[in-house]
Amino acid sequence: MSTLTPTSGPRAPWQKYKHASHFRTAAEEFDSCKLGFWLFLTTEVLLFGGIFCAYFIFRTLYSDAWREGSQLLDWRFGGLNTIVLLISSYTMAVSIYAIQKNQQRRAQINLVVTLICGALFLYIKFMYEYLPKWSVGKRPGAMFDYPFAESAHMPLWWSVYYCGTSIHALHVIIGMALIARVLYRSIKGHYGPSHYTFVEITGLYWHLVDLIWIFLFPLLYLIH
């Protein structure tokens, strides 16, 4: 199952990969891609930073609404989602390792497990968090208002909750799409020890999704 580099036989696509001509080496291409993607990740952090800042402001101003809101959330589902995402981060990192070691099957299995964890995250979120609220009408109204809110400032809590968790869920979906693409390309043999840039990038994105949730979970579920 574990072969570092095949010494004979037809070359796999990843062995035939040629880096883009404006880079001196493949290593340079890899580092450049990584740098560019880290720059993008900083913008993602700032995107969620805006939501965290809104949380900070409105929690400071209207702590009663926040106390009321945090009672609407169940930390057990949040905790379960955290564990699911942490495991998915681990399997993503292992799949990168496997590709670095040319263990294609292992890599693909780990990618599939990552996908399953992502789907499980979304399932728990929708089934146990969103749907119970939506089924009693507690969802954003026509103009993103919250007509069912009883106290004056609860709409703010609802806004922060829905914005934070749904934008994060959107990132999970995007990450899953990227992982699915990696899985497909990996099955086609495009990734190996000398070429796995896209896998690395996808891994970074998925770890960021996990990172965001590491902050979102205590803020929404644990802090009262």
Contact residues: other proteins, CB under 8 A? 24-28, 30-31, 34-35, 38-39, 41-42, 45-46, 49, 52-53, 56-57, 60-61, 63, 75, 79, 82-83, 86-87, 89-90, 92-94, 97, 100-101, 193-194, 203-204, 207-208, 210-211, 214-215, 217-219, 222-224
State the residue for tokens 């990618």.
Answer: 111
CB nearer to other proteins: give 146 or 199: 199
C-beta separation of 26 from 200 below 8 A = no
Residues 6+ apart with CB under 8 A from 84: 117, 120, 121, 124
In angstroms, what is the minimal distance from the CB of 76 to other proteins? 9
Report the residue number, 7 or 24, with the smaller CB distance to other proteins. 24
Shortest Cβ distance from residue 102 to other proteins (Å)? 11
Helix (H, G, I), strand (E, B) or coil at 192: strand
**Least Å from the CB of residue 135 to other proteins:** 27
| Nearest Cα residue to 180 out of 116, 124, 120, 122 | 116
Nearer to other proteins, 101 or 133 (CB): 101
Calculated CA dihedral for residues 159, 164, 166, 169, nearest 10 degrees: -170
* CA 132 – CA 93 distance, rounded (Å): 34
CB nearer other proteins, residue 99 or residue 183: 99
- Nearer Cβ to other proteins (15/148): 15
Name 94's Cβ contacts closer than 8 Å, sequence gap at least 6.
106, 110
Q: How far apart are CA 93 and CA 200, in angstroms?
A: 9
Q: How far is the CB of 6 from other proteins (least distance, A)?
A: 16
Work out how close the CB of 199 gets to other proteins at its nearest, in angstroms, rounded to a whole number.
12
